[in-house]
Amino acid sequence: MGKAIVVYASETGNTESVAEEVVKGLEQGGLDVTLKNVEESNPKELLEYDLMLLASSSWGEEEKELHESMVDFYEELKGIDLSGKPAAAFGCGDMEYTYFCGAVDLLEERLEERGAKLLHNLGDGFRVDGDPDQDVSESAQTWGKQMAENFQKTLSS
């Protein structure tokens, strides 16, 4: 059984609730999952897991911005070699912004820059508009399960 970690940054609890649903999907896909608030995490601990998922709500209407509690973690990732490590990103945002879920873009770019292998195409991380509802919960679980399946495929290739 693979070990996965989901590290999230959430202001109002929306990204946290989506992360909880993604975790359910990852577990349905057969993974042992740790869920952590970014404020209780350290980028170096990503190396202890087989799969890492990063999540942040997005800020800033005119530019891509991470949630403020994700900024230090994001910057510290510059010093971590994630070569070949499977990863994914997701988050919540507002479609009214110029960059819908721009934080997801930033996380994906940093993961790739550090050598991680995204389990989805760049720009295809899971994005939620506004407050999560029941449909989003189901979609988040489905996406999590798909990421677990994609991870399993990387092991057999």
Whole-angstrom distance, CA of residue 83 vs CA of residue 98: 32
Cβ partners under 8 Å of residue 151, min gap 6? 2, 4, 29, 31, 50, 51, 86, 119
State which CATH number among 3.20.20.100, 3.30.720.120, 3.40.50.10320, 3.40.50.360 fits the domain covering 3-156: 3.40.50.360
The full set of domain ranges for the chain reads 3-156
Residue pair 4/34 in contact by the 8 Å Cβ criterion:
yes
Per-residue pLDDT of the chain (157 residues; tens, 9 = 90+): 799 999 999 988 889 999 999 999 999 999 999 999 999 999 999 999 999 999 999 876 667 889 899 999 999 999 999 999 999 999 998 888 788 888 999 999 999 999 999 998 877 889 988 766 667 889 999 999 999 999 998 887 6
